[in-house]
Chain A
Amino acid sequence: MGREPLWKLERVTKTYSMGQVQVTALQETSLEIAEGELLVILGPSGSGKTTLLNLIGGMDVPTQGRILFDGESLEKADEKRLTAYRRDVVGFVFQFSNLIPDLTALENVTLGAHLSRKPLSPEAVLEEVGMADRMQHFPSQLSGGEQQRVAIARAVVKNPRLLLCDEPTGSLDCSTGRRILELLERVNRIYGTTVVIVSHNAAIGGMAKRIARMSSGRITSCSENPSPVSPGEIEW
């Protein structure tokens, strides 16, 4: 990793209390992410991937350890600061598109644009994700893959510095999933957005410049991928 990391996680632990049981989802995990990179975090379910993603994205705060963004520590930030961080810095894409059913594709994306101080054009982004002719459709009128494209457009339109994708292909068939990955790779390439993809699907690692592997709440390895392949070539 040649560039100065923009995000730094230092010995981060996250413990949840589930009723009377304490569950440690993440244990003393450290990670650095440089601006503009495409990182894939792999691991089986329950390995702590989503928890890690939530911490990076300001959806949650760690129980122990430090999270630094551009030198600012986020672990003690209050809800207001975290909201501002999510608003200005982060874009999320989830396994389920989570689009607002009462808004059209364009309106869903515009909703994201409203949040940003320097948004991209919603129409242009929708065109970029291949949804130019379906902008006026409601989510219920779109296929799963189309919904996910709109979700990506909604995250990208804010022009975030970091795009966090939690199992973005998890609910899609293989070929649709591949097209979504292509799209994420394009976003990384065209807009220079840092993209972090979390998946249990090891094949996806092939497209990353760097791969982190997780197991039982820890990052077990972190390696550079000298020859990333195009998402179109990934098979699973």
Chain B
Amino acid sequence: MVTADTLKPARRGRGIRPTRRGIRPSKGYRAFQVVNAVILTGVVIVTLYPFVNIVARSMSDQASIISGEVNLFPKGFNLTSYEHVMSDPMFWRNYRNTVYYTTVATGVALILTTTYAYVLSKRHLKGRTFLVAVAVFTMFFNGGLIPNYVLVTTLGLKNSVWAIALPNAISVFNLLVMKAFFESLPVDLEEAAAVDGLNTYGILLRIVLPLSKAIVATMVLFYAVSFWNSWFSAFLYMDRQELFPVTVYLRNLIAGSTGAEFAGAIAETDEAQVDATIKSVTIVLTTLPILTVYPFIQRYFVSGIMLGAVKG
């Protein structure tokens, strides 16, 4: 529990300005600080609770779940469901697909976004406004589901990684973030390189990109997380189970349940009981990679969003 007391040491640490706006905090303000801490603690609890609950469910036995006893801690601790899911070859196959699709799609997206952002960052370029408008207009108007579906199907991209990678190759938001970054680079270096006889491609590869490692890393993360999490393209364009990414594996697992329940089969059959933990386990196992990298990637996302906001 966070109280006003826990706020004190750091307040001392900040030195001359105990609070930013006043010399001495009023009684009302101190009361507000306590209320504020309580509210924010509430936000933290509400955000984290579903995660804790799902982990607890995944490690409990069926009977405790069905009787509605599992809450914060596992009841009747056992990991048999983990063994069950992890011994399913299709689960691992779909996981490998996710890795493969994410890698290919991120690669394609990175190349197209970088080249276009670089072109758009050149202020002197004739027709630049038009090139920017071509991209920005698509943020506010798009063809919609059906024409896209017809197009991808007609192009024969179904059941291939290209059905996922190509239609989502440039996110305009990411494009604008990268353009803003390129515009902020000093022009002297590029001019010097041009005088030394480097052509545009050489300047981009040898001068600009080495200076842009941070933004390239941010872009890789933006795209990789979005492709890793995506499911609908694969759901739409992949016909066979061995081609699904793990998100579609999970989707079919949880959708199957509503179907069963809808058919009136809420009755506590053995299958339904097994279902309860299997679902939780699969959710935990698909969330785990994101949770593992989250602490390291979060700040890149935040700085990327800020950079985009300056321009966007």
> Are A and B associated in one complex?
no
Q: Which B residues contact A (CB, under 8 angstroms)?
A: none
Q: Which A residues contact B (CB, under 8 angstroms)?
A: none
